[in-house]
Amino acid sequence: MLITFVRSIILYIIVLIVMRIMGKREIAQLQPFEFVISIMIADLASIPMSEIGIPIINGIVPILGLLTAHLIISFLNLKSMRFRSLTCSKPTILIFRGKIDEKALIKERMNLNELQERLRVNNVFSIADVEYAILETNGNLSILLKPEKRGTIPEDFNITPEYEGLPYDLIIDGKIMYDNLKKLGKDEKWLEKQIKNFKVKADNCLIATIDGKGNFFCQEKEKN
């Protein structure tokens, strides 16, 4: 029992490291070749994890081999558009200038009900509102609405909004984010002065943030 537990921990750590090396995109939207590699890694890890008689190295070596294959394919995808089209395919236009492309639907083996479902997931409830719908290589559906159906933006009224910038966390659960302070050109004394206005000390602060306009937010931890 203990051996199985230890083997599981070792394989978990290895798979976790491999997935981290493969990149953040693996967790979000997978390309076809990435999806295949992820499934194979899961299968390879599960066999030596449950079968004590199989040497654990028999699971580790193939996983590292798949990692190597992934890195090579990813590199070739960056260097060659032709190779990228082979491994990742190409986006397919399902709706072109407001008209459904039936041939494209057949090619992607998608029916009208599924297309409508994909549109509703993107908060579009009428096909008549769509100018373009593109099925991306990772399976997502990108939608461009007709001009009269799009939401207005400040540019439509010749308005230039103020620059907002990116909000920064300065304290999380009592811990000061020194890297963010450095990016802002501030120091710990400045931070202490800010949270003092909220009658809070850094170690008792649940969260403190500042947005691009300089608005400071601070909340104290709940007392037990």
Check residue 146 and give its pLDDT: 93
Check residue 27 and give its pLDDT: 47
- Give 15-30 pLDDT, tens digit per residue: 777 777 766 554 446 6
Map out the domains of the chain with their CATH numbers.
Answer: 2-86 (no CATH), 92-149 (3.30.240.20), 168-220 (3.30.240.20)
Helix 32-50 with 2-22: angle, nearest 10 deg: 170
What is d(CA 175, CA 163) in angstroms, rounded to the nearest whole number? 29
Check residue 28 and give its pLDDT: 46
pTM recorded for the entire structure: 0.61
- Give 29-61 pLDDT, tens digit per residue: 666 667 777 778 777 777 777 777 778 787 788
Residue 149, sorted as left (phi over 0), alpha (psi -120 to 50) or beta, turns out to be alpha
Select from 172, 169, 165 the least CA-distant residue to 209. Answer: 169
Query: pLDDT higher for 172 or 38?
Result: 172
pLDDT at 219 over 60: yes
**Is 163 within 8 Å of 212 (Cβ atoms)?**
yes
- Give 64-89 pLDDT, tens digit per residue: 888 888 888 888 878 887 777 777 77
**Is 75 within 8 Å of 27 (Cβ atoms)?**
no
